[in-house]
Amino acid sequence: MKVLVTGGAGFIGSHIVDALLDSHYEVVVVDNLVTGHIKNIHPSVRFYQLDVRRDLDDLFGKEKPDYVIHQAGQVSVSQSLIDPLYDCEENIIGTLSILQACVRHHVKKMVFASTAAIYGNPVYLPVDEGHPLHPISFYGLTKWHAEKCIQLFSEAHQLDYTILRYANVYGPRQDARGEAGAIAIFIEKVIKGERPVLFGDGKQTRDFVYVKDVARANVAALTNGNQEILNVGTGQESSLEEVIGQLGEISGKNIQPILSPERAGDIRSSVLNNERLQLKLNRFPFYSLKDGLVETVKFYEQEFLTGLRG
């Protein structure tokens, strides 16, 4: 079976490619490298440097993928507030373009990367899939719109789909920016011997989900959870203070963060209910925060040692 992964040169997409290859799928990657990197592309996949917003007929006609995992998009919340039009093009037009190609070329199913940002400020915790949707960024809004486009296409053309709403993803290959950049930024600072900046009192919580769990959820969704919207989170709240404490233990350093005033608009607490995911995707145990951080720190240390990061 062949899977086309958009955004496969990016952080999460490249881990999905690894997980697909481990499960013996044939993989094709489409990425325009706007934020992705050539070094992330697995040597045993066919790579097309293409923009998902343009006509993909030739590519789909040539490769005839059975499944599509759509990760490509504009991923920065703050950038979406500066340039909502670009967000629209990337997250809505890009998704429509992929949907049209899927229908024309009889793709069996599309799995889509959505986000907890579409819920906005939680009105209760943990946030389940029935929680009201009230995005507070264009990023959240355009992802919500993309979800609606997928559902309409599915009704009109019988295209199977699973929509996965990710919590704050972290792990190797993440750039120190984006939705869950905090862990990447903290680790870079710690390795460089610098003090990380902590906004507010450090007690704000997030649902940090390890990228390999997200990748495995995507692979499982190819054959499970049809026409479902599923949260991808650990169901565990972790405070930023706790993350810094664990990084101190792992690195053996006494980390003294620089305390800075709380940023306006920052959500205080956030955690996703993952019961539906566990039910629909026959899921495995998630990485603990500690185990995920150990692997991530090891990766960044290696990158600094080999000069790939600096």
Contacting residues toward ligand NAD, per CB under 6 A: 6-7, 9-13, 30-36, 51-53, 71-73, 75, 90, 94, 113, 115, 166, 168-169, 178-180
Nearer to ligand NAD, 94 or 126 (CB): 94
- Report, in Å, the least distance between residue 82 CB and ligand NAD: 16
Query: Number of C-alpha atoms within 13 angstroms, CB side, residue 153?
Result: 25
H or E stretch covering 223: none
Single out the catalytic residue among 25, 139, 210, 287. Answer: 139
- Report, in Å, the least distance between residue 34 CB and ligand NAD: 4
Residue 281 CA to residue 271 CA, distance in Å, equals 19
Nearer to ligand NAD, 50 or 255 (CB): 50
- Report, in Å, the least distance between residue 209 CB and ligand NAD: 8
Residue 84 CA to residue 212 CA, distance in Å, equals 30
- Report, in Å, the least distance between residue 254 CB and ligand NAD: 28
Hey, what amino acid is at 271? V
Decide: 43 and 19 in contact? Cβ < 8 Å.
no
What residue has token string 């507030």? 81
Nearer to ligand NAD, 73 or 225 (CB): 73
Residue 232 CA to residue 79 CA, distance in Å, equals 23
For the chain, the farthest-separated pair of C-alpha atoms sits apart, in whole angstroms, at: 58
Nearer to ligand NAD, 31 or 228 (CB): 31
Residue 10 CA to residue 184 CA, distance in Å, equals 15
How far from 281 is each of 58, 228, 235, 300, CA to CA, in Å? 33, 10, 15, 31
User: Which two three-digit tokens encode residue 5?
Assistant: 């992964």
Residue 155 CA to residue 160 CA, distance in Å, equals 9
Nearer to ligand NAD, 43 or 252 (CB): 43
Residue 184 CA to residue 124 CA, distance in Å, equals 28
Q: Which of 167, 240, 170 is nearest to 199 (CA)?
A: 240
- Report, in Å, the least distance between residue 58 CB and ligand NAD: 15
- Report, in Å, the least distance between residue 277 CB and ligand NAD: 14
Strands 2-6 and 67-70: parallel
Nearer to ligand NAD, 179 or 228 (CB): 179
Q: Is 170 designated active site? A: no
Residues involved in catalysis: 139
